[in-house]
Amino acid sequence: MSDVESVKALDASIIAGINAKDAGMATAAYAEDGALMPPGAPTMSGHAAIREYWQAAIDGGLENVLANPTAAHVSGDIAVTMGTLTGSMGGQELAGKYVLYFRKGNDGWKVQRDIWNFDT
């Protein structure tokens, strides 16, 4: 698998975890020192905080999430994906965009930073 395919697969694994209502699965793609930067909330750093965030979102009704990566770039041990996303939460339709920043270490590619915002 190429590096671009690897980071795209990690990108998709987060969404698969959310849709499976499995916060552990959604968190597995992140580095131990990774961070989420969700809209309207402080940065959450580390696996425990990331897992807690995804569990709360799942418990709050986050579902039917679809991500459409529109670009993926790799340069050495750094990669970035970006794209659009849709889903729903508590009956409200969501649409937005995201950027994932990856770093390749001894354990392969991991998400270092995850930031997104909504169009409405």
Classify the C-alpha dihedral 33-81-14-116 as positive or negative.
positive
Task: List pLDDT tens digits, range 3-19.
Answer: 999 999 999 999 999 99
Each residue's pLDDT tens digit, 58-116: 999 999 999 999 999 999 999 999 999 999 998 899 999 999 999 999 999 999 999 99
Residue 120 pLDDT more than 80?
no
pTM of the entire predicted model: 0.93
Asked if residue 118 has pLDDT above 80, the reply is yes
CATH classification number, 3-118, choose in 3.40.50.880, 3.30.565.10, 3.10.129.10, 3.10.450.50: 3.10.450.50
What is the spatial distance between Cα 33 and Cα 64, in angstroms, rounded to a whole number?
28
Q: What is the pLDDT of residue 3?
A: 94
